[in-house]
Structure formats: structure tokens, C-alpha cells
Amino acid sequence: MARKADVAALEARRFEAARRFARGESQAAVARALDVTPMTACRWYQTWTREGEAGLKAAGRLGRKPSLDHRQLARIDLALRRGPTAHGFATDLWTLPRIAEVIERRTGLRFHPGCACRPNVNARIGRT
């Protein structure tokens, strides 16, 4: 995922394009100067003409929003710390399908068992 500095740098590049458009530079010249495709320069130009520089501002976070919020993650973490037997499983061994089932019970969100072990989910619930 892009860091905030990357987002700021991308926004600065779009603002530079807006300054160049305002000076009368062509879309092709802006594309060459900023090392972007002509289609990107065209999209920036269209946005700039419709909305001004404000339309080129960064939208905020990149990518999809996390499906689990901090409260849900805390509930999952607490549930997992209680152990599998506390959730009705026969043994005290966590498996990916069991973790996915506990996540679904606690949040109503269904995760594929393979996704329940992804680093972003594990790191967010304090597990590695």
C-alpha cells in the first residue's frame, strides 16, 4: 500500500499539471514533462477544467477500506485469546477455518479461511 508521502507526491504532481495547464501547456507537453501517459494528462485536464485544482486533490486513503473496524478487531482478539474450546471446538488448536468461523460469529463478516491468516488481519488483531 502507498505511504502518505507517496500520496502527497502524487497529489503534488497533479497540482504541477494544473499549473502547467493554466500556463497554456498542451496535454501532451504536460504528459511528457511529468512522465505520465497522455491518457492520464487528459483525465487531469478534464478534471481541472470541470473542478479546478480542488478536483485534483488526493481522495484520502488508497485502496479498499478495511472490512473490520478497531472495535471488531478488539472483540476478535479477545475471543481468540479465550481459546478454541471456549467457542465449542473439541480441541485447543486454532485452525484457519476455526478462526474464520469465530470472526464470522463475532462480526457477521465471512472470511475465507485463507484470508483469516493474512498478515494484515493478523497484525491488526495482534497476532503473527
Yes or no: say if 37 and 17 are a contact pair by the CB < 8 Å rule: no
pLDDT at 25: 96
pLDDT for 88: 94
The whole-number average pLDDT for the span 63-80 is 83
Residues 35-52 have a mean pLDDT of 94
Q: Which residues contact 29 (CB under 8 A, 6 or more apart)?
A: 20
Predicted local confidence at residue 32, as pLDDT: 96
- Cβ atoms of 58 and 73 within 8 Å: the answer is no
pLDDT at 65 over 80: no
**3-class secondary structure, 121:** helix
pLDDT reported for residue 43:
95
